[in-house]
Amino acid sequence: MEIRFENGRAETAAMDTDTLRRNFLVEGLMTPGQLKLVYTHYDRMVVGGAMPAGDALTLGTHTELKANFFLERRELGIINVGGAGTVTAGSESYELGKLECLYVGRGTETVTFRSTDPTQPAVFYLLSAPAHTTHPTRKFTRDEAAPVTVGDAATSNHRTIYKYIHADGIQSCQLVMGLTILEPGSVWNTMPAHLHSRRMEAYFYFNLPEDQRVFHFMGEPQQTRHLVVANHDAIISPPWSIHSGCGTSNYGFIWGMAGENRDYTDVDPVPLVSMR
Kindly list the domain boundaries of the chain, sorted by start residue.
Answer: 2-274
Residue 84 — very low, low, confident or very high, per pLDDT cuts 50/70/90?
A: very high
DSSP H or E stretch at residue 72? none
Mean pLDDT (whole number) for 64-85: 98
Please give the share of the chain, as a percent, with pLDDT higher than 70: 100
Tell me how far apart the alpha carbons of residues 79 and 9 are, in angstroms, rounded to a whole number: 31
Q: Which residues contact 112 (CB under 8 A, 6 or more apart)?
A: 56, 57, 58, 59, 87, 88
Residue type at 170?
I
Section 122-128 average pLDDT:
98
Nearest Cα residue to 49 out of 95, 94, 85, 23: 85
**Is residue 201 annotated as involved in ligand binding?**
yes
- Say what the pLDDT of residue 12 is: 96
- Is the pLDDT at 127 greater than 90? The verdict is yes
> Is there a binding annotation on residue 6?
no
**pLDDT at residue number 269:** 96
Band of residue 68 on the pLDDT scale cut at 50, 70, 90: very high
pLDDT at 146 over 90: no
CATH level 2 (architecture), domain 2-274: Sandwich (2.60)
Measured over the CA atoms of residue 135, residue 141, residue 143 and residue 148, the dihedral's sign is positive
pLDDT in tens, 200-245: 999 999 999 999 999 999 999 999 999 999 999 999 999 999 999 9
Q: What is the sign of the dihedral through the CA atoms of 1, 198, 111 and 73?
A: positive
Q: What's residue 97's pLDDT?
A: 97
Whether residue 158 is annotated as binding a ligand: the answer is no
Does the annotation flag 232 for ligand binding? no
Please state, rounded to an integer, the average pLDDT across all residues of the chain: 97
